[in-house]
Structure formats: structure tokens, C-alpha cells
Structure 1
Amino acid sequence: MQIKLTKIEENILKELKLLNKENKFVIHECYKGYPAEFTSKLVNGITETKKVKAEYARMEYCIDIKFNEIEIRLVIKSSDDLQSFKNLLSNKNNFLTNCLGCYNEEYVDLLIYKINSEKLFFSNHVNKLELDLFFQQKKLTIELSQNPKDNLLADFIKIYNGPKNLTNNKTILRIKGLELNSSKISEDDLKSLLSSVFFDIKCLRNEYFEVYDYHFLSENYKIRKSIYKQEASDKHRLVFKKLIPELIEYFKVADQINYSPFKFLCYYHILEYFLDKSAHLAIKRKIDSVLYQSDFDANSDSYIDEILQSFKDEGDRLKSDKIKIQRVLQEFLNKETILEFINNINLNNHFFKDQIFEFKNKVILAQIKTDNESQFFKSLSDRIYSIRCSVVHSNPDFGIKKGVPFVSSKKNLSILEKEIYLLEEIGKTLIIGSKIPLSNNGYSQ
């Protein structure tokens, strides 16, 4: 069906195409319908409803554009938005490369957000925080304020259309006197400065802030969409499952955490919950199989030796977390189901080839092998365990075999994010597979 554009929409599209002569961004046309809006009030005991806004439809233009090689989505709805986009293009060279900030000859503006749970600026404080300090022989003035009308990021915030909400309670950190346009101050210097400033604010006000980085602002919904693409219906029939509470807490906390290494650990805790339990279960199964042998009485010495050997074998295996992980995966997972999941999220090229983390020393995640069941589960467990060691250990003087500490670079986080999709799916499978049996023939009251 051909949509007839209004004159304004035609002009916006025409200008966008002119701006994109060098194909520096991608334009998506998106026709949006909006329902009517109503208001209700009580008059003499009778509710009266009045239409305050009629239903309407319009064409919106979504723009995929790269900041520091990370794809960011913007949306153009009006001529004002188009002007903001033009301003953004003309000013793009003054944007920082590693976080959402922009600078001119006078100051640097950064968009920041609060990472702890305290209220943003306590009510007994003014809606502004001013700080003075010396940095590299320069006196800096730092202002922290909410919803400032005049800031260098206003155009970006206005048309940004990614997974984060930047318009509500936006907080701008302005640094005067830094001279970022000179060659003397680098973005690494700025990062060190912000680490110190944010730590001091936490100590003074119990509010901890962070700067938005482009990876955090990027559209990561594409993989999610492919995971859930089969769920087209809005109506589903569910089956009650009595789930292990501790595992649900890990799963829930993982969804609340934005920092990928810690998110990985939450999902890993679900797997870790079963590591020693798997050995106990293996021993129990061995004992059960032996005790019910018809010739147990006649050959009890031989069978008892067999049980004792099982204890010894399991004790040796318990020395290695990798073996524990592999056994849990083999017990709960189905190889073909996992391969299908990887294929559905279009990450075959990621998981079926080596990935390299750039830490103090390089850490290679060997590809997942699919030749047979044993190789598949061993390579998968090795890959998970390798990441776990780097995320857990922070001591830079550890030997390489014990784990090289994780470094949160753009490349490393991008690799880890893809690994997390698979570990999350493994966590779901473990939670469902370990559900507590129900009484009353499987029905709950």
C-alpha cells in the first residue's frame, strides 16, 4: 500500500537524501498511527468524557548513524527535528569518541546518569552542584545540573531514539577550563578526571554518576527481536512451575544490571549453583544402580569396591570447575536445541570461531565444536569458564593460567555481550530443568 506523504514529510525526506549523498547514514521510513486522546472528569456525580486530541498518522524517519563505530538510532518527526539533525551533523567532529559528550572552545558537556538507587539530588539541595578543582595545572569549574535548556547535547537528546530514555531528568555535567580542543588533554585524561569527580560526589552526596557511552546507547534490540520472533501472539497459555527462589533472584538481578561483566556473573551463578550438586547426583545414581542389582548379596565386595571407586573418581573431578560445568551442561542441555538457538540469533559466526579478548595478555575463546556431543559440551564449558576466570579475578599479578583480569574496552564488551545471550539461555534452561516437583498430581492450588 502506497502512503501519501504530506508536503512537510516530502520535504524532510528530500533534505535527508541530500544530506546523505555520501551514504554516511541509513534512512528508514516508518508510518506511525496514534490513537485519539480523551480526558474525563466528574460533573454532578456523572463522568463526562471529552476528546482532547484526534487520532492521526504520520511518517517518521529513523536514521541509523555511527558514533565511534557504534550504530545509534535517531528519529526525525518534524522540521524542528530535521534542523536538530543538521546541527548534529555539522557539530559531529566535536563529539567525544568514547562517551556521549561534546565540546567547544569554552567547555565540555557530558550527559550523565545515576547508577545508585538514591534520589537524584536530594530535595533539600538546590538543583545544581558546583565544584572547583585543579587538574594538570589548570583550574576547572564543574557544574552538575538537571534539565539545562542550553547545552551542546540538546540536539542529540531531542532526536535520539535508542533503548534509553534521555529526555526525562537529563543531567548535564559541564567542565569549564579543560581545553579538550588542544593536544595537551586526551580523552584518557578526561576519563581519569571523571573517575575522581564521581567518586568524590559519591562520598559527599551518596549519589554515584556515570557518563553514557555509545555502546550503552546503541540499538541492541536486533538480537532480542530474533530471539522472540516466534512469539507473534499476545495470548499465551502458561503452566505453573515451582522454581528455585535463589535462581530466580540471580536471573532477576542480571536483568537489572547494565554492566556486562557483572551481568555475566549473575547468569554464571545459576550454573554455579549446580556444580557440586551434579557430583552428588552422579554418586547417588551409581549407588542406586548397584544396590538394586539382583546379585548384590553374592558379590557385595565387588560392588562396594565399585562404589568406592566412584567416590574417588568424583573426588578427582571436583578439583576442576571446568569438568563440573561440563557435567551440568550435559545433564540439562540438549545440543541441537542450543545450536538452533545460536542460529536463530544469527551468531553462528561468533560462536563457531575463535574470539580474542584484548586484556593485559590476550585471552582466546576457542570456538564451540560441533563434531560430537563430547566435543560440543567440552568446548562450551571451556569457553564459559575462561570468561568466568577473567571476570572474577581482579589481581593483575595473577598468573595467566588463573585468569587475566577483564578490561572493559569497546571490543571486549561487544564480544562479552554476545556470550551473555547464550549464557542467559542456558540459565533459563537450568531454571526450568530444576523446577521443584508439584504435589497433587502436578497441579497447584
Structure 2
Amino acid sequence: MISGRMMTADINPADSLNPNSPLFTLEKAIQTAGISCEWVSMWNESVCLQIDIASGRSSRAVLISEQDAIKCLEMDFTKIRALGEYDAYEVLGEDPCIEVSLSVNSGPTSRMLERIPGWEAAAPANPRLKNQGSVAITGARGEDWLAELGTPSDRFDILSGRGSVTLRLKGRQNKTYGEALAFLESAGNAILFEVDLKYGLSFAFRRMRPAVATRFVRRTSLNAAAPTLPRLQYAAEPLSLYRYARSAVGMPLLEFLAYYQVLEYHFYRYSQRDLLDKLRNELRDPNFRADDERHLSRILRITRQPGRGYGDERGQLKSTVRYCVSEDAISDFFSVNPEVLRHFSAKKQAIAGLGPVDPQRKKGDLADSLCERIYDIRCRVVHSKEDGGGQVDSLLMPFSPEAESLRAENVLMRFLAQKVLIAGAIDLPA
């Protein structure tokens, strides 16, 4: 699979090809099979044929280069389907196989697989290919399938071209797309977990880059001024949490929680200020009487402390955001980030249970409604348990579509965390 597509509107990219190019033969074969395809011009002026591979009720675009076209003529694309959000493909037929690209979480891949007993090099006599090979994984219960962990097959290289390690599940006849995806997730994840247990090698299914990841990027006006020495000193602990959030690339749940902890760090300070304002207003009331138990009870209710800080956590979050971020600043944020605005205001929300937020509502309501939303998400991320912590379908689980949609929420969370850090800063000695 090739990246770097360049759109062309008026010119057919295929016009630049040699009339005898194998891509034309492949195009005819693909069209005869009833599969959608189109010509694509690349950034380097090469031409590819884009083929739409079936993937459940949708499809996945695969780009075929002229170099790979001859090999593709030997492939039956009607018997190939992409699986879920993974960089994975299933080949149907007499020798069924699911192959998925793996990302490596425990260091460089070079020589890692060679540590696993049973490793067989693809070409032992060729030094240039010494790192290529596979490990066969079989069972002792009469299973009708086996697995292989190793370098990608030639077919997978054409379809994907990503990663240097794949997992292959061979021999299982899956009748439906859903059955194949479920088998990949259950059996594949079990294999990778036990490889980690036994050999200390951590792999994970490589996922296709979601469109949401590229769509939700905070827009900021480019600062034309040269860098200057800072005038402010930021609290070390929340600044460390902020930097942690910024480093959580590809982990939206972790990023969200780190930004939330930046806000949470300041709860005590700003909820106390909110409390003092309420107490001051009560005590300044000309009708307040120290000998009236009802008046004293109001004071007690205001000062009640269910936890750290003053008021419940939801109230402390609102106090912190209201004190540090103006309504105008929040409105301006949405004005310059239209993609994020569309995410928040959509009638059908990407995260179940959340309602749309209208940035055009009257001032005084926007910050509170956003805080309600933030707190609800925080609870769904933190309370990841079945027993007493909510229903299973209410959890925000890693790698789920809902978790991926947190990327838009995190654009706002980053903005709020920055504002809170600035509000809590002190002058830096010259």
C-alpha cells in the first residue's frame, strides 16, 4: 500500500502510462470482478490504481503501483477483505489466512523474534535476509488452525506495506466478516498476551490511522514575534502533567486524564475562592443574624467539605474553569476551531450519553455546560469496572470509536489546561 496520494480533477493520471502497462490489465480484471477502482496520481508523479477492498459494510482503499501490478494479477480480490480498524486482511478460499500488522511496544524489532524458540529464518544462507523468517505457533488440542509470527508475506506487503512484523492466523474458515473480526481479536490478542508473558515481547495490532486524528488539530494563529525569555513561572507539578498529556501521542484516554489532572490540581485554590465569595455575600447581607440558627445553617452548608477542596468535584471543576477562563475566550476558541465546534454541536454525538453544546448560548451557561460534559467523560474513563461502577456499555475503552473521538475533546482540554496554568503562574525573577 502506498501513501502520498495527490488529487487530480481534470487530467486522467492513466494517460501518462505506457499503453502496455500491467496496471491496465489489472484494471480490466478488477472491473470484470465488479470491484470499484480509480486512477490516482502520486506526489512523485507516479501513477497507481486504487482498489476498494471489501470491509464489512464499507470498503478500504488500497493503492497498487505499477511495480506490484503483475503480482496482483495472481490475486483474487473478490476473496480478500479488510478487517475492522486494523491493518489486517483476510484471504478466503481453500487456504484461508488472516494477517495483521503489528506495532512493537518493547523496543526495536531487529533480532527480537529470533529470541523466541522455534524461529526459522526464511533464507539462512543469505546474510541480507537473516532477520526474515517466522515462528510457528501450534496447539495440542486438535485445533483446526495455527498461527505464525514473523515478517510480512508478499501479499500483505502489497496490500499494506506497513510494519516489519505480522501475525498470521491460518486455516480457520470464517463464514462472515463479523466472525473473522471476532476471531482475530480473541485469538490474536490471546497469542500476543502469552508472547508477552513468556518472552517479554510486547506487540499490538497496528490500526489504520483514523480520519478523526488528522481532522482535530487545534488551530492557533502563528506568532510572528521571535521567542523571548519568559516572565512567568509555572507550577512544576501541573506543568509536568501538561507535558505528559502532550506526550501521550495516540493515547486519547491518557491524554484526557492528564489534562484533567492539570485542572484538578487547582481545585483547592479556586473552589476556596469561590467559597470565600459566597461566605462574604452571606455575611454582608444586612438581614444576616448570628443568633438565627437558620442563617448559621446556611453558613455550615456553604463550608461543608465532601472531599479535598470545597464543594463536590463537579462544582470544583466549574469554579476552576470559571475563574481561569473567560466566556469570551471559550467562544473565541470555538470560532477558530470549526472542526471542534462541529464535533461539540452535532445533534448525534460521537460519545454516547452526551448532549450537544451550543457555543452561541447565553453567557454564563457555556463554561458550566462544558464542565458538566468534561466531568461526565472523566467518570466514564476512570470508572472502568462492571461491579458498581456503571454498566459495561457505559465504559470508555481504549481503541474504541468513542475513545478516538476524544481527540476533539482533548483539543478543548489542552486549551483549558493552558489557561489554568497561566492563571496560576507567578512572576519569574529576572
TM-score by length of 2: 0.70
Q: Give secondary structure in 1 for the equivalent of 2:86.
A: coil
Matches within 5 A, 1:342-421: 342-343=334-335, 344-353=337-346, 355-356=348-349, 363-370=352-359, 371-398=361-388, 400=390, 404-407=394-397, 410-421=400-411
- Post-superposition offset of 1:227: 1.8
Preserved contact between residue 72 and residue 218 of structure 1 (Cα < 8 Å): no
Q: Map Cα deviations across residues 308-351 of structure 1 (whole Å, 9 max, x no partner).
A: 97675143583421111111111111223323333424233321
Residue type of the alignment partner of 1:133: G
The structure richer in strand per residue is 1
Counterpart of 2:4? none
- Post-superposition offset of 1:171: 0.7
Counterpart of 1:140? 145
Counterpart of 1:335? 327
1:171 aligns with 2:171: no
Which consecutive residues of structure 2, in runs of 5 or more, have no partner in the other structure?
1-9, 120-130
Among residues 194, 203, 206, which one is paired with 2:188 in the alignment? 194
1:249 aligns with 2:240: yes
Among residues 153, 157, 176, which one is paired with 1:154 in the alignment? 157
Residue type of the alignment partner of 1:437: D
Count of residue correspondences: 384
Q: Give secondary structure in 2 for the equivalent of 1:331.
A: helix
Preserved contact between residue 103 and residue 180 of structure 1 (Cα < 8 Å): no
1:96 aligns with 2:74: no
Counterpart of 1:278? 270
Q: Give secondary structure in 2 for the equivalent of 1:143.
A: strand
Query: Is the alpha carbon distance of 1:368 and 1:417 closer, same or farther for their aligned partners in structure 2, counting shifts above 3 Å?
Result: same
- Post-superposition offset of 1:386: 0.7
Counterpart of 2:250? 258
Preserved contact between residue 112 and residue 172 of structure 1 (Cα < 8 Å): yes
Residue type of the alignment partner of 2:170: K
Residue type of the alignment partner of 1:208: S
Residue type of the alignment partner of 1:432: I
Q: Map Cα deviations across residues 47-98 of structure 1 (whole Å, 9 max, x no partner).
A: xxxxxxxxxxx4677979796688978777x632677898999368422234
Counterpart of 1:237? 227
- Post-superposition offset of 1:201: 0.9
Query: Is the alpha carbon distance of 1:313 and 1:356 closer, same or farther for their aligned partners in structure 2, counting shifts above 3 Å?
Result: same
Preserved contact between residue 99 and residue 166 of structure 2 (Cα < 8 Å): yes
Whole-angstrom distance in 2 between the partners of 1:114 and 1:438? 42
- Post-superposition offset of 1:221: 2.1
1:436 aligns with 2:416: no
Whole-angstrom distance in 2 between the partners of 1:183 and 1:74? 18
Preserved contact between residue 95 and residue 102 of structure 1 (Cα < 8 Å): yes
- Post-superposition offset of 1:173: 0.8
Query: Is the alpha carbon distance of 1:337 and 1:259 closer, same or farther for their aligned partners in structure 2, counting shifts above 3 Å?
Result: same
Preserved contact between residue 13 and residue 40 of structure 2 (Cα < 8 Å): no
Percentage identity across aligned positions? Answer: 15
Q: Give secondary structure in 2 for the equivalent of 1:258.
A: coil
Q: Give secondary structure in 1 for the equivalent of 2:394.
A: coil
Preserved contact between residue 215 and residue 339 of structure 2 (Cα < 8 Å): no
- Post-superposition offset of 1:124: 6.7
- Post-superposition offset of 1:20: 9.6
Preserved contact between residue 27 and residue 49 of structure 2 (Cα < 8 Å): no
More displaced stretch, 311-320 vs 378-387 = 311-320
Whole-angstrom distance in 1 between the partners of 2:181 and 2:334? 37
Residue type of the alignment partner of 1:315: R
Query: Is the alpha carbon distance of 1:289 and 1:182 closer, same or farther for their aligned partners in structure 2, counting shifts above 3 Å?
Result: closer
Whole-angstrom distance in 2 between the partners of 1:236 and 1:98? 42
TM-score by length of 1: 0.67
Query: Is the alpha carbon distance of 1:438 and 1:28 closer, same or farther for their aligned partners in structure 2, counting shifts above 3 Å?
Result: farther
Whole-angstrom distance in 2 between the partners of 1:4 and 1:193? 44
Matches within 5 A, 1:215-234: 216=209, 218=211, 220-224=213-217, 227-228=219-220, 230-231=221-222
Matches within 5 A, 1:53-64: 58=45
Which consecutive residues of structure 1, in runs of 5 or more, have no partner in the other structure?
33-57, 159-165, 294-298, 441-445
Preserved contact between residue 59 and residue 82 of structure 2 (Cα < 8 Å): no
Whole-angstrom distance in 1 between the partners of 2:51 and 2:103? 23
Among residues 299, 302, 321, which one is paired with 1:313 in the alignment? 302
Counterpart of 2:127? none
